[in-house]
Amino acid sequence: MPLTACAINCSLAASDSRESSTDGMIGVLRNAFAEHDVRVSDAIRIADHNVKPGVTSDEGEGDDWPKIRERILAADILVFGTPIWLGQVSSVAKRVLERMDAFLSETDGAGRMPSYGKVAVAAIVGNEDGAHWATSQLFQALNDTGWTIPAVAACYWVGEAMGSTDFKDLKQRPEKVSKTASMVASNAAHLAGLLKGAPYPG
């Protein structure tokens, strides 16, 4: 069966507020994944939804997380998109990670979390240094909650410190970003295919 990927965009702004550089980076990975017959969903802009604070999979009436969670777990690969703010992943990204904490208590009979056997990669943008710190935060939390992180799992771009140019405003995509996206997609698709055919034993 073909592999699928679910993309989430943890921009601080809702989709009707402004164009998102994070969406731009997710688009770079979407094109790279297409080369490996992996279909990446339209990105879920988390800020468009009411994702309540908490560490369970359902925080009650009005919580949009259960449906988002269902879409994320239905895919083989998670493309986790976040901007860098104050040198860190966004507060929206942290909210998503906190909600995934529920996976720790949702194991099956073999002790496997719902995310076991699924691969996660990152799409990160920002105008300051911090991409490596952001990936370390993100991948540690994702690994703690059961996701598998492949080699070369992050595609990122950061502009000049204290600069004003956003990724979406670049006239030409840096060659290094394109090459990294190709490697991220290739490694993630390969690993996801292996895990789909031979799940973790637990």
Global confidence as pTM: 0.95
Per DSSP, the residues of 137-201 read: HHHHHHHHTT-B--SS-EEEEE--TT----GGG-SS--HHHHHHHHHHHHHHHHHHHHHHHS---
Q: Which residues have a Cβ under 8 Å from the Cβ of 193 and sit 6 or more positions away?
A: 3
pLDDT tens sequence for the chain (202 residues): 799 999 999 999 999 888 899 999 999 999 999 999 999 999 999 999 999 999 999 999 999 999 999 999 999 999 999 999 988 999 999 999 999 999 999 999 999 999 999 999 999 999 877 899 999 999 999 999 999 999 999 999 998 877 788 999 999 999 999 999 999 999 999 999 999 999 999 9
Structure tokens at 20: 């998102």
